[in-house]
Structure 1
Amino acid sequence: METWYYVVESIDGDYANLRRTDIESDDLKLVARALLPENIAEGTQLKYEFMQYSIV
């Protein structure tokens, strides 16, 4: 299973915009906040592994 790294770019209500940091990309991924750790904020570094997000 692969591991991806993200940073929270912005939070908009029940959704967060994530940007990959492990590759060169300006694309944003819209993710429901229910799938993310509770205490995220803009700038939080996340790791996605085994279908779960965790704070780095």
Structure 2
Amino acid sequence: METRHYIVVSIDGDYANLKRIDIDSDDLMLVARALLPEDIKEGSKLKYEMLEYTIE
């Protein structure tokens, strides 16, 4: 499974908008905050690997 890198663009209630930063893309992905580390904030960099998000 490939590793992906994201940045938290915005947080809106129970969801966060993530932007992939390891490829050239302007698309945002809406992810439930329950799937993300508890202490994220806007600007946090995340790594997605093995079906888990971790803060870098």
TM-score range relative to shorter protein: over 0.9
* Structure 2 residue runs without a partner (length 5+): none
Q: Which residue is 1:25 aligned to?
A: 25
* Structure 1 residue runs without a partner (length 5+): none
Partners of 1:14 and 1:6 lie apart in 2 by 18
Partners of 1:26 and 1:46 lie apart in 2 by 16
Q: Which residue is 1:14 aligned to?
A: 14
Partners of 1:5 and 1:39 lie apart in 2 by 17
Q: CA deviation at 1:25?
A: 0.4
Q: Which residue is 1:34 aligned to?
A: 34
Partners of 2:25 and 2:34 lie apart in 1 by 24
Q: Over the residues paired in the alignment, what is the CA RMSD in angstroms?
A: 0.2
TM-score by length of 1: 0.99
Identity %: 70
User: Which segments of structure 1 move beyond 4 Å, counting only runs of 4 or more?
Assistant: none
Q: CA deviation at 1:28?
A: 0.1
Equivalent residues, number: 56
